[in-house]
Amino acid sequence: MTAKDEHIAVTRFREFLRVKTVQPKPDYVGCEAFLKKYAEELGLAYTGVECVKGKPICILTWAGTDASLPSIMLNCHSDVVPVSADKWTHDPFAADKLENGDIIARGAQDMKCVGIQYLEAIRILKQQQKVQLKRTLHVTFVPDEEIGGQDGMKLFVKTDDYKKLNIGFALDEGLANPGDAYKVFYGERAPWWLTITAKGKAGHGSQFLEPSATVRLLKVLNRFLAFRDSESNRLKHGRTAKSVPFQLGDVTTTNITILKAGVQHNVVPETASAGIDIRVAPTVDLNAFKEMIEGWCAEQDVGIEYVNTFWSNATTAPEDHNPWWRLLKGVAEKRKVDLEPEIFPAATDSRYIREIGIPAFGISPMRNTPVLLHDHDEYLNERVFLDGVDFYTDLVPALANNTEELVER
């Protein structure tokens, strides 16, 4: 297939992949220019909002026929993670396409594919099928998701610009699936980053100096490690209420990611600290969990700093009493695709949406595809990509033409 014969959706996908929105210095200027031009091409209204200067939230809007109905948000983050270029077989920002259709680029799975799938579904609906939607549709491209969304979605949902959108339901990213189904994420674990610091007596390494900063720290870390072991065991043997084996998102992970102590071998340090990454499962009482870990630290008089905590474990029910789930499931059944609902094991911008009470599912329509987000030689096959365009072509009108009162999360 020549470049001239390439599907327009694939061409736009590859163009977007070439915009180097790579952290820590994403080309948000180039990204916004690309999306403004795209909005004009598709006949969509464009709005740019900056909660932080130089970090635009790009909103492409297709107005519905009934302004009284809450709108639909189709969300995509525009930034991508850094690369180790020497580990790639192709330039990670060239978007090369192999003979078998694999498109290799950073962001191919995470998640520029989904943003273009939204827009190319809109192209088909507007320009080919001449569809009109009852609900207004907002396709949002937000910055800085890959570094926590602090200057992006976290701030955006608190603005009047967001409130004016009148969002009633949102879709966001999921993960590829090596199996023959779409993963659907109805919640995610709350990310907590802690620094714990112990203090003690300093002196020569030949003595028993009490209290010892390192001993205090290790005793607390042993509590975290014992908890880690118990959750690992739950993952291996636990089952949900429907007797489905636990997935990673169903348990709380704890990892010691930073250790700091000492200046040389024969000097007992007066301080010792550790950084800990915790992902708290939605079934956990967050206040009770905080009391538990503070109790561990208090036993050894160890200080604790909450570097980052997220205080919501809201989920969107993947059950038939939730109309949004019924619509999603109905489209999947029509397309003969199985859905596998799970808790997202890491964190996405969906958590900020659910936190303010808006139902949201995370789904990236990539099946029979290895999970390669943040990996070297990240790729997506064009056939899988185009199948995702068709999926959203069916899903968007199902969501946007639904007039049922939707109150379930």
Catalytic site positions: 79, 145
Residue 86: other Cβ atoms inside 10 A: 6
Could you give the 3-state DSSP secondary structure of residue 180?
Answer: coil
- Radius of gyration for the chain, computed over Cα atoms and rounded to the nearest angstrom: 24
Residue whose structure tokens are 């290790």: 218
Please, are residues 116 and 13 in contact by the beta-carbon 8 Å criterion? yes
Please, are residues 73 and 353 in contact by the beta-carbon 8 Å criterion? yes
Token pair belonging to 23 = 């952290």
325 sits in which H/E element? helix 323-334
Residues written for the chain = 409
Give the closest residue to 326 by CA, choosing from 241, 240, 399: 399
Residue partners of 91: CB distance under 8 A and separation at least 6: 85
Please, are residues 390 and 129 in contact by the beta-carbon 8 Å criterion? no
Could you give the 3-state DSSP secondary structure of residue 343?
Answer: strand
Please, are residues 256 and 272 in contact by the beta-carbon 8 Å criterion? no
**CA contacts within 13 A on the Cβ side of 340:** 20
CA–CA dist 83, 11 (Å, integer): 23
